Amino acid sequence: MHEIEPYYTWLKYYDASKDALSPFYGKEYHFDMYRDTIYNYYIDPAWDFIGSETLYIKLLFVDYNTGYAVIEFIGEWNDAITNDIMHLKRNIIDHLSLNGINKYILIGENVYNFHGSDDCYYEEWFEEVEDGWIAAVNFRDFIIDEWKKYDIDSYINVGGGLVMANWRTMTPQLFCERVRQVIRRRISLI
């Protein structure tokens, strides 16, 4: 797991450690020292701690003018034991929402397991985005199946056009626009 890095090519567009509104503002990264682990496996020092021992993130892009945040994940999303959604919601999402973010794009290629509990935090998050939305890009099918068991897919858009193998070839603005187009089509079908 230590070889899996968060996507870093967008650093020229956005760096959470240099964004005064970011929850990671001022964080110093020590790339020669591996100290964070998920189940005793070291992870790359560029991943950010959200309060969970099993799930780390990287805030890849935030645009306060348009209300977008792109968040990449690594690890096991465990709501049953470590209440990861609470950590994500209280430590990251609430902070971003206070600064006008209402469109969240979650990238889950490196989420390897999910253990559900109740959907209270997801419901709260969904209600708070009002005119925005939450989209999950490239989560594995078995994770989406587990989300469906806990009705989380009622709050987070998943699957279909949100499977985007080529997202790394896009600028963050183009990527956000492509996700918005998928969501807009879904909403117009309702």
The sheet that has 68-78: what strands, in order across it? 48-49, 55-63, 68-78, 103-115, 133-137
Residues of the chain with pLDDT under 70: 1, 189-190
Helical residues (DSSP H) of 83-171, grouped into ranges: 84-88, 94-98, 120-128, 141-149
Tallying the residues shown for the chain, one arrives at: 190
What is the per-residue pLDDT for 190?
52
8: left (phi over 0), alpha (psi -120 to 50) or beta: alpha
- Considering Cα of 176, then 182, then 186, then 189, what sign does the dihedral take? positive
With a CB cutoff of 8 Å and minimum separation 6, the contacts of 6 are 44, 46, 47, 58, 60, 72, 74
DSSP-assigned beta bridge partners for residue 133: 103
Burial class (CB in 10 A: 0-12, 13-18, 19+), 86: middle
Task: Find where tokens 């199946």 sit.
Answer: 145
Q: What is the 3-state secondary structure (H, E, C) of 29-53?
A: CCCCCCCCEECCEECCCCCEECCCC
For each of the domains in the chain, give its residue range(s) and CATH number, in order of start. Answer: 9-34+43-189 (3.30.750.24)
For residue range 19-33, what is the model confidence (pLDDT) as tens digits? 999 999 999 999 888
Kind of pairing between the strands at 133-137 and 103-115: parallel
Residue type, 39: Y
